[in-house]
Amino acid sequence: MAIVNYAEREITCKIVYCGPGLSGKTVNLQQIYKTVSPERRGELVSLATETERTLFFDFLPLEVGTVHGFKLRFQLYTTPGQALYEASRKLILRGADGLVYVADSQKERLEENVRIFESLKKELSIVGYRFEEIPFVFQYNKRDLPNISSVEELNIHLNVDGKYPYFEAIAIEGVGVMETLKGIMQLVLAKVGRR
């Protein structure tokens, strides 16, 4: 849920990057962090244990503008992708205004992409969200690797109704990263504007 700071005339929105382990969530945030000018971003924080890592930072984008005279600030988070970190994911999902699902395009990862996606929908329900109501985009990452699923195949298994925007990416090179971010920001902005 967006947080409104009347004193600063600022609305803070939370975007969470989800997906299987090693799909590219962390790389996306690192690429965005490098792209945003230092005076418009907060510190990149990594909460790491021996077995999991969550990154987050906030930034004030220039190109988004205002909503009813309020500046928009975005907080970006990643979730741990491995199945055993369900509790951590639920905590990070609380208060999310938008989600990016980073899918690993490699054919051998298709089953795990689907399993983690179905798990995400259940976790959202547990923390009080209806999946259909939250702004959401897919990012099909690692498009440069051999033996990848086609976009059509990924859409058949993940974006079943074809109603969610999707972006192809090579996050390690920065390709598609900012396009994905802009896509989810536009959806979140539209929803916040309606409120």
Going through the chain in order, the beta strands assigned E by DSSP cover 3-5, 10-18, 45-48, 53-59, 66-67, 70-78, 98-104, 136-141, 166-168
**Confidence at residue 27, expressed as pLDDT on a 0 to 100 scale:** 94
Give φ, ψ of 148 to 5 degrees.
Answer: -105, 155
Alpha helix ranges (H) inside 41-176: 86-93, 110-126, 151-157
* Neighbouring-strand partners of residue 59: 41, 74
Q: In total, how many domains does the chain have?
A: 1
Burial of residue 154 (number of CB atoms within 10 Å: 0-12, 13-18, 19+): buried
**Confidence at residue 15, expressed as pLDDT on a 0 to 100 scale:** 96
The CATH number linked to 56 is: 3.40.50.300
**Confidence at residue 89, expressed as pLDDT on a 0 to 100 scale:** 77
**Confidence at residue 68, expressed as pLDDT on a 0 to 100 scale:** 84
Yes or no: say if 132 and 187 are a contact pair by the CB < 8 Å rule.
Answer: no
Q: What is the pLDDT of residues 79-111, one digit of tens each?
A: 876 655 667 778 899 999 999 999 999 999 999
**27: helix, coil or strand?**
helix
Q: Across the chain, what does the average pLDDT equal? A: 90
* Neighbouring-strand partners of residue 77: 16, 56
The whole domain housing 172 covers 3-194
Query: What is the Cα–Cα distance from 79 to 93, expressed in whole angstroms?
Result: 8
**Confidence at residue 86, expressed as pLDDT on a 0 to 100 scale:** 66
Give φ, ψ of 192 to 5 degrees.
Answer: -65, -40
Query: What is the Cα–Cα distance from 115 to 111, expressed in whole angstroms?
Result: 6
